[in-house]
Structure 1
Amino acid sequence: MVPGWVRLTSYANEAAGLPADVFAHQPQAVAEGHLKVPVAEVHHGLAQAPDAQDDAESGITPGKHVVVLDG
């Protein structure tokens, strides 16, 4: 169960809230350093999701805690 104050975001090759042409430029902007995305840590596999949640809740490391579903 996710507490009500925790904000989760996921993307599965879609961005309903953004026009496709705007979203398409974001990866390049990140790669070129024009857009900063503060990533605290990258966790691999669904088994590490609880660790990512614990890290995010601790607030010790600011930024996004990303869970990548390797496959």
Structure 2
Amino acid sequence: MTTVIRQDDLIESVADALQFISYYHPKDFIDGVYKAYQKEESQAAKDAMAQILINSRMCAEGH
């Protein structure tokens, strides 16, 4: 028996996976970003990391 994987199904699956990992971050990633945020001196970099942390929290809370 041969299994056929359609190109569109593969593309959709990969896109869904990338979308998922862009929203849901493992705790060690969040901890690392937070530690980097605390040490960072550049306000622009701190703002970018803060936005990542805020977005991650909102996604985890279902917003």
Please, what TM-score do these two structures have when normalized by structure 1? 0.24
Rg larger in structure? 2
Q: Which has the higher contact order (CA 8 A, sep 6+)?
A: 2
More strand by share: 1
Please, what TM-score do these two structures have when normalized by structure 2? 0.25
